[in-house]
Amino acid sequence: MESISAYKSGAIVEHADIWDDVNCLWGYIYEDRKAEKCSIQFHSLLQRAQRTKDPRLVKCLMSLNAAMKSTDNERKLLLRTSKVGQKLYLPINIHNATPIPQNPESNCVSLGAANNLSLKYRFLKTLTADPNYDAIQQSPDIPDCSLVASLINIRKSSINLPPIELLPTMHYNINLHFNGSDERLVSVDPKNIPTTEDSSQLSLRSSNIEDKIVELAYLQVIGGTYMAEGSNAAIDTFRITGFLPEVVVSTKYDFKTLKNFFNSGSCLMAVGTGKESGALRDTLLANHDYCIEYIDTDNKEISLLDPLDSELRIKISADDFRRKIQQVYINWDYHQLFAHRQSFTFFYDSAQCNKFSSNIDKPLFEVVNTSTGRESVWILLETHISESKEARTQDIAYLTNYFDSDIFKKIYIPEGSAADLGLHLLKLELKPLEKYKLLCYSSSSHYFTIHLHSILPNIKFTRASQRRNAASVHFEEEISSLNTTYASPYYFTNPAFKLKIENPKGTKAPLNVDLQLLSEMKHLPLNLQIFEYSDWRLQKPILFDNYYDPQHYNRFGLPLNTSIDYVVVCSCQSDLVSHESFKLVASTSSSKEECTMTLEQVSLKYGGLLHQQSMNILFEQGRTRVKVSLACDHNNEYLIRVIPDPGTSVGVACSIFEEKTHSEIYHDKQFYDKGILIPHLRIDQTHSPVLLLELEDIPLTEAKFSIFVGSRWKVTLSPHP
């Protein structure tokens, strides 16, 4: 059994000024201060430490130096995620820590909302053990049955508690397992424990002071108060021992399997009742965790230990177990089961990942068995604690199997998974050379650490950088800019995106493409059409669809080809005036080989050309001709659109001639009532082109048009006399 070690005898900290500066430098590293400034401070501290000839001080500085110089992103993230509420819990082994607490003024646990207990516990005294008390029992005034159940299991299985060190300041240092590290440094102040008049303390009962220190440290981390509801034995056992938590409903495993687990010596087991107390026997409490004392498969009964009463044994039948126990908590000793471990820490930004109901924004990971034999792989998704318990919400977070074809499918919580606990365990069996993809979902922003355990070191775990055969683009627009239907002559003004699909050979090959348009706004009707990029008049939509679907619009199985460019035009139907976010996703699962897909926003109005000019044209009443000069100093390529303004119904024709010689550069005698498009027009720099617009009829009122000119080189538009 792990016992408490002492830093040094005596209550005075030698070289306290240096130790204080070491703590400050740890704080600077956490805050990611400038490396140069930290290095100067470190070398000054090292010189002072060497003069003291204190080996512990030098050892601590070496640990600090390694953290400063580390280029390991994982280590940096573990440092960055050290803060819970306003307290710092650095990833430092207690034997490399300073003898002065990092948070000396805030290492106490408060009564919190339980102010009524202050009448009962009127005194503050130093934490003491309960002599001659052989068991561990929960205080009736602290709702931490899960933590006490965890400690009972740990003690009866002769498993060591985390290492504890007594400091000269009479604080205790202890390492707990949370926020991705097995060595989160927690300092505990045992000097102000609420105590009754008859010397009964607000603490669990145990003759081992270590049990009480673990409880005090744990309460400090998860909320800082004695009101510790909301946890369970699987979570608490993990944070004390690091054992992998598995939470299942009571009907998942049969009695024989549960007994095999219990007798294996590879796990700790407990159970929890639910909120429906009406289904429980009188001896079972609602929302309460119990330890398993033994499982009798012959008589089909199970014996439970109650953390609130160390002498009480509760026997329930197999039927009662299934009906009255909600969850079974199993914590697996990974040291016995696996030999290799990998960890990966990352940040899940819900504002980015959950902005749209799309899988393409979710983090994706890849697990590969590089061996020629089957491999068992267990993966734990650990949610980091960042706030005090009072500030936390009930979040959902999980990992789930993902296939490339799932890109447009709705992902659900894995069946039978306890995804709202902050710890989600996934068990995989990988075939030889099998590749497995995992998608991560979280309902809110958090840091996470993925712990991967395997027997052999030939499991490769990486974060997938991008989806296979897929592309996406996020854009923000006023709703009015999408509010033009295909029937309108202004349809080309809607947001449009160039879709390129290339295969490794660079050849033309058929494939089916799926498209999805998403909006952040619920119930906003959406639509998209796709055209070949050369179809500037947007006359030939591929498999035209006139329907609008709310928030999610899907087009599946579009028959396209690689090495041909396409344009996707997005639209909506709404009278609302607001700025909204949209996402367009393209994917194909029909290609047998990898292909590269890209989506790039283009301006159809100007033909996707770099230089863009526009001009408003007014035909006054009775006037039928207007001229516009196009001035440019280069051989230029143009796309020209002439569009009638709303309310103008007269047809218009367009021609372009050379100003000096009056020779025709472009001429179309036909009149168009929905506008004119002139694509791919090339004009030599020696010309001085003039654009002539002619109306089909003499307007009875003013007639208004807009000219849009896209060009490779800059052009100047001006009225021609």
User: pLDDT tens-digit profile of 163-177?
Assistant: 999 988 889 999 999
pTM for the predicted model, two decimal places = 0.86
* Segments making up each domain of the chain, as ranges: 115-231, 244-332, 338-463, 470-602, 611-720
Q: What pLDDT does residue 657 have?
A: 93
- C-alpha 508/C-alpha 519 separation (Å) is 33
Low-confidence winner among 107-111, 211-215, 558-562, 715-719 (lowest mean pLDDT)? 107-111
Structure tokens at 609: 């050309």
- C-alpha 265/C-alpha 7 separation (Å) is 34
Q: Which of 314, 287, 288 is nearest to 302 (CA)?
A: 314
Choose which CATH entry (3.40.50.11740, 2.60.120.380, 1.10.230.10, 3.90.1150.10) describes domain 338-463.
2.60.120.380
Please state the rounded mean pLDDT for residues 122-151: 93
Structure tokens at 32: 């990611």
Same fold, 244-332 and 470-602: no
CA dihedral 256, 262, 268, 269 (to 10 degrees): 40
The yes-or-no verdict on residue 389 having pLDDT over 60 is no
Structure tokens at 275: 């909120």
Phi and psi based region of residue 563 (left: phi greater than 0; alpha: psi -120 to 50; beta: remaining): left
CA distances from 304 to 64, 141, 142, 144, 238 (A): 46, 22, 20, 17, 21
The yes-or-no verdict on residue 325 having pLDDT over 80 is yes
Please state the rounded mean pLDDT for residues 45-67: 84
Q: Return the amino acid letter for 451.
A: H
The yes-or-no verdict on residue 279 having pLDDT over 60 is no
Q: What pLDDT does residue 390 have?
A: 47
Helix, coil or strand: residue 278? helix
Please state the rounded mean pLDDT for residues 3-23: 73
Please state the rounded mean pLDDT for residues 379-396: 77
What CATH superfamily is the domain 244-332?
Cysteine proteinases (3.90.70.10)
- C-alpha 657/C-alpha 638 separation (Å) is 15
DSSP codes of every residue in 286-335:
TT-EEEEEEEETTTTEEEEEETTEEEEEEEEEHHHHHHH--EEEEEE-HH
Q: Which of 693, 707, 535, 718 is nearest to 623 (CA)?
A: 693
The yes-or-no verdict on residue 445 having pLDDT over 70 is yes
Confidence class for position 297, pLDDT limits 50, 70, 90? confident
The yes-or-no verdict on residue 9 having pLDDT over 60 is no
The yes-or-no verdict on residue 11 having pLDDT over 70 is no
How does pLDDT run across 214-250, given as a tens digit for each residue?
999 999 998 888 887 768 999 999 999 999 999 999 9
CA distances from 574 to 324, 480, 495, 550 (A): 52, 8, 15, 11
CB 399 within 8 A of CB 461: no
- C-alpha 608/C-alpha 73 separation (Å) is 41
Higher pLDDT: 388 or 562? It is 562
Other beta carbons within 10 Å of 400: 19
- Angle, in degrees to the nearest 10, between helices 233-241 and 145-156: 50
- Letter string b/e over residues 324-333, b meaning 16 or more CB atoms within 10 A of that residue's CB: bbbbbbbbbb
Structure tokens at 708: 């849009």
User: How open is the CA angle 18-23-24, to the nearest 5 degrees?
Assistant: 95
Higher pLDDT: 607 or 9? It is 607
Q: 470-602, what's its fold? A: Jelly Rolls (2.60.120)
Please state the rounded mean pLDDT for residues 664-682: 90
Helix, coil or strand: residue 264? helix
Q: Return the amino acid letter for 568.
A: V
Low-confidence winner among 464-468, 526-530, 702-706 (lowest mean pLDDT)? 464-468
Q: What pLDDT does residue 283 have?
A: 75
Q: 611-720, what's its fold? A: Jelly Rolls (2.60.120)
Q: What pLDDT does residue 117 have?
A: 83
CA distances from 91 to 79, 182, 530 (A): 7, 8, 53
Q: Over 590-604, what HEC string results?
A: CCCCCCEEEEEEECH
Average pLDDT, the chain: 89
Query: What's the number of CA atoms in the CB half-sphere (13 Å) around residue 440?
Result: 31
Please state the rounded mean pLDDT for residues 13-38: 80
- Letter string b/e over residues 612-633, b meaning 16 or more CB atoms within 10 A of that residue's CB: beeeebebeeeeeebebbbebe
Confidence class for position 75, pLDDT limits 50, 70, 90? confident
Please state the rounded mean pLDDT for residues 682-700: 91
How does pLDDT run across 568-623, given as a tens digit for each residue?
999 999 888 888 999 999 998 766 667 889 999 998 989 888 999 999 999 988 88
Other beta carbons within 10 Å of 543: 10
Q: Over 449-482, what HEC string results?
A: EEEEEECCCCEEEEECCCCCCEEEEEEEEEHHHH
DSSP codes of every residue in 696-710:
SS--SS-EEEEEEEE
How does pLDDT run across 329-353, given as a tens digit for each residue?
999 999 999 999 999 999 999 999 9
Confidence class for position 125, pLDDT limits 50, 70, 90? very high
Long-range contacts, 4-8 (Cβ 8 Å, 24+): 4/164, 4/165, 4/166, 4/172, 4/209, 4/210, 4/213, 5/163, 5/164, 5/165, 5/166, 6/165, 6/166, 7/56, 7/99, 7/165, 7/166, 7/167, 7/168, 8/99, 8/168
Q: What percent of the chain is predicted at pLDDT more than 90?
A: 58
Q: What pLDDT does residue 67 have?
A: 82
Confidence class for position 391, pLDDT limits 50, 70, 90? very low
How far, in whole angstroms, is CA 474 from its chain's centroid?
18
Q: What pLDDT does residue 537 have?
A: 87
Q: What pLDDT does residue 416 have?
A: 67
The yes-or-no verdict on residue 648 having pLDDT over 60 is yes
- C-alpha 230/C-alpha 595 separation (Å) is 48
Please state the rounded mean pLDDT for residues 626-643: 93
